[in-house]
Chains A and B, each alone.
Chain A
Amino acid sequence: MSDPILFTRDLWVRVHDPNGGGSPIAVVRGANIELQRGATTCLVGESGSGKTVLMRALLGISGARPGVTAGTAWARPDGSEFPVPLVGPRKRWRGRALPSLRPGWAGYVFQHPSHSLDPLLRVGDQVGASVTIAHSGLTPAAVKRRVLHWLETVHLPNPEAVAQLFPHELSGGMAQRVAIAIALATEPDLLVADEPTTGLDWSVRRDIVDLLGELCRARGMSLLLISHDFQVVEHIADQLYVMFRGELVEDGPRRAFFEPGPGSHPYTRELQARSRALEEGSSPPRLHLAEQPTSSGAGCVYAHRCPWIREPSPERSALGERCRSVRPPDFRPSSDHRVRCIAVGEPT
């Protein structure tokens, strides 16, 4: 049974070259994504793969570069659908984006907690601002009660004292908990966390991710977790999307990624190998950056880096030519698992 809270159909985002030359570059290519109600969806890909742009275009948050969008997105906050006004980063400061249509419907936790808090306002006041988005017309005392409640919810010790602090007095982990409290205080149906663990100590990363998972389960909230690291998402993902150069190359439920089964995309394997190596402390496999991606747009987006055509086995010797010229079809090992790769679909 599928009950998405937010979904997109063939969503494209193009940005203009900052140097002003040529036609816009597509940074998100035809994304179909579904966020199920009450489930944790993870969007995985290396930095620059377009995950953040996708999320921003969808949720109406400004981007650094001007661009245009195409495609459709629909939100279903309470069963009834309405189209999400896609915000090209160009219209960043105006336009009726999702946040102004449904204030407090979605909460956001960004990377680098030190940047997502106002450095000169007390923690309590910042959480308080979110409280007033969810409930207008509260007395200051009632706001304060809720602020303390939210600080407690994210397991901050001694909320009374923390509320009086300024962000620079918090450790990274505490600051990220505060950022989560700020997002939670708007009482959202959907929580979006964009690389919530970058800039944090290894020891704290796991805590933050576990906290996010726990909060979403307890409150029946949907979670969209964006990360480059499979180890981070492994514990809590229900549904995964893997993104490379703007394309969703693979998606499926968690078992498709973390249990042995029929093929997964070579890029997924690369990411998994990298995060495994990072965790074991050995140096991650080197990237083959020598070859430039094809600019024509034909062929597989991963072709310039794919190990299968770089070191072809005898059975796959003819692969390279096809990968570079033919757009790979979607292969479905099972009904809910999709891999966009020529080789995975063919018996070797």
Chain B
Amino acid sequence: MTLSSLWTQRHRQDQMGPVSVFGFGVLIGLVGLRIAAMFVDSSPRLGLQDEQLLPAMAGPSWDHLLGTDQLGRDLLLRMVDAVEAFFLPGLFACLVAALIAVPTGAIAGYWEGSKGAAVLRGLLTMISAWPRLVLVVVVVAIFTGSVRDPAAWAEVRLYLLGGLVGLSYIPQLGGAVSERVQHFRREQFVEAARAHGLSDRRILLWHILWANCRHLVLRHTCTLFGAFILVETSLSYLGDYGVPPPRPSWGNILAGVRHSVVHSRSLMASSDSWSPAGLWGGVEQAIQHGGLLGVLAPTIAIAVSIAGVLALAEHYARRDRP
């Protein structure tokens, strides 16, 4: 085999499949929305002002592309602004998990059999024994009220959530890293490097963690980010522990308009839904008057975002094993 054919072979392998393209597309979209959210102020946080003048649950129009919500606020702006609720706290969750789990797992795996490794392993097991959601709810409940300023508390609460979800993910990530390190520690190339006198630190950091665990860690942090979106939107939907209104979250947007679902269902049912034209008429009715978009927009946003980061996780999982 000639060198040039080897080159093309490698470039073929590096090409991205549709899953990767989708994942990176969603990632870029989320980053874009997060940046846009910095310039958007959908709900003045001190009371509601001129938005009250808009009709509630209005259908889409050129001024309000997605219509308005139950209090007459622009839905699109709120959808964009809601990215703030999970983006940085989600990254914070990933950071917490990675910063603690990677060194812990690496040490537990590399010096397997030593006392320190046994202690670390015990800690990982202890954390994993906590049910994630219960942990989150209990800790948030404990902290509730400890910060006086409600706006600041909303912010703190989100990062607290992020930290907790990150913590609860540590056993999984740490376990995966330590298993991988254990595996590679016995590889011949590690033995060769040791035998040549390369230091343990360099072997662990460079040969094992950087070269052989990078994709594994990225894959797990992507999954974690997806899990955080789910936790944040679910808690916000349920109310007490998530994003407090008037701050928007995809979860509480959905919660706000959920009563309209019943209304739009009745609108759709009243039309003749057996013919395509009739069906479309019902949907149009529901969009114009029933606030169907208020339900669809956050649902689709949540689904697409989670699917996107999971696709990224899949992308790294594929990279993980050459």
Contact = CB atoms under 8 A, between A and B. Distances in A.
Interface of A: 59-62, 64, 93, 99-100, 102-108, 110, 112, 115-121, 126, 129-130, 133, 157-158, 161-162, 165-166, 168-169, 171, 179, 182-183, 186
Nearest to A63: B191
Contact of A161 (B3, B9, B192, B195): B3
Given A93-B110, A99-B194, A169 B189 contact: no
A95 to B, nearest CB: 12
Contact of B195 (A99, A129, A162, A166): A99
B144 to A, nearest CB: 46
Contacts of A61: 191, 194-195
Contact of A129 (B9, B198, B200): B198
Contacts of B188: 110, 112, 115-116
B212 interface: yes
Contacts of B126: none
B6 interface: yes
Q: Name the residue in B7, B10, B110, B192 with the highest tally of chain A Cβ atoms < 10 Å from its Cβ.
A: B192
B64 interface: no
A104 B200 CA distance: 15
A58 to B, nearest CB: 11
Given A99-B195, A118-B212, 19 more contacts: A61-B191, A61-B195, A62-B191, A64-B186, A99-B197, A102-B197, A110-B192, A117-B189, A118-B211, A121-B211, A126-B189, A133-B196, A133-B197, A158-B3, A165-B3, A165-B6, A168-B322, A169-B9, A186-B196
A133 B191 contact: no
B1 interface: yes
A99 to B, nearest CB: 5
Given A110-B192, A158-B3, A166 B197 contact: no
Identify whether the interface residues of B are mostly helix, strand, loop, or mixed.
Answer: helix
Contacts of B303: none
B9 A179 contact: no
B198 A169 contact: no
Contacts of A60: 195
Contacts of B113: 93
A120 B211 contact: yes
Contacts of B207: 118, 121
B56 to A, nearest CB: 56
